[in-house]
Structure 1
């Protein structure tokens, strides 16, 4: 029977990093993963970044809906259509605002008998855990029915901070195993059992924020990316995009995490939806994105 592993966690916690780690290690151990990515806006950007390590036919992107509610039927139908493989394993990355408890409650209903009951792995950013203000409740919800909690960003925290976070996680999810990513052995994941914990219900609207995207012209330099990210207000929790820099043949991927850190790296291939700026968070509107892009271009022209 095939294991279904759902990866959940707050925006920027490191879900895609964990997913890539799982995929790479499963492949090295002769397993055949199938990957499903969910996001409010353009999940195809993230899906393309797996193409160097796995054939595109084994990666699917669900965009424009939330798989914990409006997208659950689409997700379930997609899982049931996954081809049978030798040593198959299905890896699902939920978007960072998912009601993780609702996802696990609904996903297991109606799956084919060839699949094991889904298990949940939650990614926790130790540095920023419960530093989300009004979004703390959502972040806490995302660990309650996890079978495994993977700790990230440990290198940026003290031992005292780590102990505090682990104690809080043990209280919220007493049945979960809690480990750093480097201690994770992927072959143990299919052996995990689903959590039987009874979660505290989340007011579902708290997990739903606005999101949008805008086209981006060719930018004059990397500095324009920083200018765009810094022009967007802090209540926009996640900023990401794929752009083309003047005189460069390839494309550049960037993201601004909820703590304000900006990461830039080469993009793998050509973005199928064109160059885009995408945001998730209260107040996301196309006009806000377009204003930030225009402001960046004017700043670069002036300099």
Structure 2
């Protein structure tokens, strides 16, 4: 029977990085993973990055709805259509605001008999755990029915902080195994049992945020990326984008995490939806994105002239 592993966690905790590592390790051990990614806006941007590891037909992007509710039927139907493989495993990344408890209660209903009951892995950012103000309840919800909790962003974290986070996690989910990213044993993950922890129900509306996207023109230089990210208000918790820089024919991907950190890296191939700027969080409006883009372009065009 084939295991289904869902990866959940708050925005910016490192879910996609973990998923990439799992995918690579499973491939190296002779497994045949199928990867599904969910996001409010253009999940294709993240999905295309997996084509460096596996064939495009083994990656599926689900955009525009949340798989913990409105998108659950689409997710379930797609999982049931995944081809049978020897040593197959299905890896699903939920968007960063998913109601993880609802996702697990709904996903396992109606799956084909060839699949094992879904297992959930939560990713926890140790540095920012329960420092998210009004979003703390959503963050804690995302660990309550997980069988395994993976700690990230542990670099230079004091031992006192690490121990506090672990104790706090155990209050919400005393049954889960808690490990650092580098301690994952991929051979044991498919053998995990579904969580039997009693979860506290979340007001489902707290898992639904505004999101939007805007076309992104070629940018004259990398500084434009930082200007755009800095111009968008902190209420917008996640910023993603992909475009060409200067005369470079290859595309560049960038993102701003909830703590304000901006990272830039090469993009694999050409984005199938074209160059885009995407945001998730209160205040996400196309006019806001377009204004940030225009101000940045005006600034750098004036400098170049």
What is the TM-score normalised by the length of structure 2? 0.99
8 Å contact from structure 1 (residues 2, 115) kept in 2? yes
8 Å contact from structure 1 (residues 47, 60) kept in 2? yes
Q: CA deviation at 1:298?
A: 1.1
Structure 1 match to 2:75: 75
Q: How far apart are the structure 2 equivalents of 1:140 and 1:31?
A: 32
Would you say 1:301 and 2:297 are equivalent positions?
Answer: no
Q: What pairs with 1:260-275 in structure 2 (closer than 5 Å)?
A: 260-275=260-275
SS in 1 for 2:219: coil
Q: How far apart are the structure 2 equivalents of 1:273 and 1:144?
A: 35
Q: CA deviation at 1:213?
A: 0.2
Structure 2 match to 1:89: 89
Q: How far apart are the structure 2 equivalents of 1:113 and 1:28?
A: 27
Would you say 1:216 and 2:208 are equivalent positions?
Answer: no
Structure 1 match to 2:159: 159
Moved over 2 A (4+): none
Q: How far apart are the structure 2 equivalents of 1:81 and 1:13?
A: 30
Q: How far apart are the structure 2 equivalents of 1:132 and 1:238?
A: 13
Structure 2 match to 1:175: 175
Structure 2 match to 1:45: 45
* Uncovered stretches (5+) of structure 1, i.e. residues with no partner: none
Structure 2 match to 1:147: 147
Deviation per CA, 1:152-189: give whole Å up to 9, x if none: 00004111110000000111111100000100011100
Structure 2 match to 1:32: 32
Q: How far apart are the structure 2 equivalents of 1:181 and 1:170?
A: 18
Structure 1 match to 2:123: 123
Structure 2 match to 1:242: 242
Q: CA deviation at 1:296?
A: 0.6
Q: How far apart are the structure 2 equivalents of 1:158 and 1:234?
A: 27
SS in 1 for 2:129: coil
Structure 2 match to 1:21: 21
Would you say 1:110 and 2:114 are equivalent positions?
Answer: no
Q: CA deviation at 1:105?
A: 0.4
Q: CA deviation at 1:302?
A: 2.6
SS in 1 for 2:83: coil
8 Å contact from structure 1 (residues 127, 156) kept in 2? no
Q: How far apart are the structure 2 equivalents of 1:3 and 1:257?
A: 30
* Uncovered stretches (5+) of structure 2, i.e. residues with no partner: none
What is the TM-score normalised by the length of structure 1? 0.99
Q: How far apart are the structure 2 equivalents of 1:102 and 1:53?
A: 30
Moved more, 14-23 or 151-160: 151-160
Structure 2 match to 1:259: 259
SS in 1 for 2:260: coil
Q: CA deviation at 1:39?
A: 0.2
SS in 2 for 1:274: coil
Q: How far apart are the structure 1 equivalents of 2:13 and 2:299?
A: 31
Structure 2 match to 1:188: 188
Moved more, 240-249 or 64-73: 240-249
Q: How far apart are the structure 2 equivalents of 1:225 and 1:243?
A: 10
Q: How far apart are the structure 2 equivalents of 1:26 and 1:256?
A: 29
Structure 2 match to 1:205: 205
SS in 2 for 1:298: helix
